[in-house]
Each structure stands twice: as structure tokens, then as C-alpha cells.
Amino acid sequence: MLNNIGLPGLLLIAIVVLVLFGRGKISSLMGEVGKGITAFKRGVGEGSREDEADEGKGRRADPEIAAPAVHTEAAAPASNTAERETVDSRNG
């Protein structure tokens, strides 16, 4: 469907948008889009510099985050009758 839009179609769409929103509204909108793109590029650049600084210092990721804990022991059953009676009285 969009493959059939040629230059005349794009010009018609641009004229309709200009008439509906006005020149001032469109220019302020494009200015805000430009500021957003600039802020995004700045943030990406700062993030990559922080990553490079972390690699340069030899810092490694937090071991708790990098390797999750693995539980190998099974839960032990109640060993004496007092614990079993307490559990039974709560459940029943």
C-alpha cells in the first residue's frame, strides 16, 4: 500500500499536515524532536564511556547478579514430634 505513494502523494500529505497544524506548531514539534534525539545521543555516549571506564579499571559484575544462587539441599522434614504437632495444629 505504501509502495504506491510517490512524490505527489507525499507533497499532498505535507500540505494537509501544514494546513491542519500550522507552521509554528510543526516547527516547535520538530525542535522538540531534535532536542530528544540530541539527548538520546548524549546519553548513549555517556553510557559507553562509563562502560569503557569500568573495563579499564578491571571491575567485574556483581557476583550475586552474575551467578544466581543454586539451592542443592532439600528441605529437611520435621525431626521431632513437637514440630509435627505444631504444624498439624496450624493446618487442621
Backbone dihedral region for residue 82 (phi beyond 0: left; psi -120 to 50: alpha; all else: beta): alpha
Task: Judge whether 78 and 84 are in contact, CB under 8 Å.
Answer: yes
Predicted local confidence at residue 67, as pLDDT = 56
pLDDT by residue (tens digit) across 45-84?
Answer: 888 887 777 776 655 555 555 555 666 666 555 555 666 6
d(CA 41, CA 33): 12
30-40 mean pLDDT:
94
Q: Rounded distance, CA 74 to CA 54, Å?
A: 39
> Maximum CA pair distance of the chain?
88
Q: Would you tell me how many other CB atoms lie within 10 Å of the CB of residue 21?
A: 13
